């Protein structure tokens, strides 16, 4: 049964009023496939574009997005996040791997915040590097793990 569907198949916010606040964590990952020439520039050090340093700007954008998830995704609860960390690493396949880990002590989980943070960080890398190439592909965004709440998940 879908939790965001109520009587008469109407959309609704899930009522978490009676749930206890517990510690919860979620990690999401986005993968940005880069052309070799763009990846080479990023491997040489922090690529500085007219908009700023690519990875550092993507980290800031991802954290900002995670904090505003409730403004972007209908029915997400407003959460005061305890922590949000974004790490970006280039692998040997010319991919920027973005991991966003979010934690909170609350009545609801933070999967959507982690997914939003990773997604916006990936979009920021695309935006900042598109002047170099439009052959950039954001391949996937997925939940890697979540702990706390009803059940844990590990990909």
Question: Which of 83, 127, 135, 152 is the catalytic position?
Answer: 127
Contact 73, 97 (CB under 8 A): no
From edge to edge, which strands make up the β-sheet containing 83-90?
83-90, 95-106, 22-33, 137-147, 153-154
Query: Any catalytic annotation for residue 127?
Result: yes
| Active site positions, annotated | 127
């Amino acid at each position: 049964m879908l939790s965001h569907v109520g009587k008469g198949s109407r959309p609704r916010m899930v009522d978490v009023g009676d749930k206890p606040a517990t510690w919860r964590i979620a990690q999401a990952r986005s993968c940005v496939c880069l052309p070799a020439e763009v990846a080479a520039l990023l491997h040489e050090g922090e690529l500085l574009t007219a908009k700023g340093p690519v990875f550092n700007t993507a980290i800031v954008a991802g954290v900002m997005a995670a904090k505003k998830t409730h403004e972007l995704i209908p029915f997400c609860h407003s959460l005061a996040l305890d922590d949000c960390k974004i790490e970006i690493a280039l692998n040997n396949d010319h991919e920027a791997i973005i991991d966003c880990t979010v934690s909170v002590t609350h009545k609801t989980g933070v999967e959507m915040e982690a997914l939003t943070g990773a997604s916006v960080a990936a979009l920021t890398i695309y935006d900042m590097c598109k002047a170099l190439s439009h052959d950039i592909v954001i391949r996937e965004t997925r939940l890697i793990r979540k702990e706390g709440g009803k059940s844990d998940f590990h990909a």
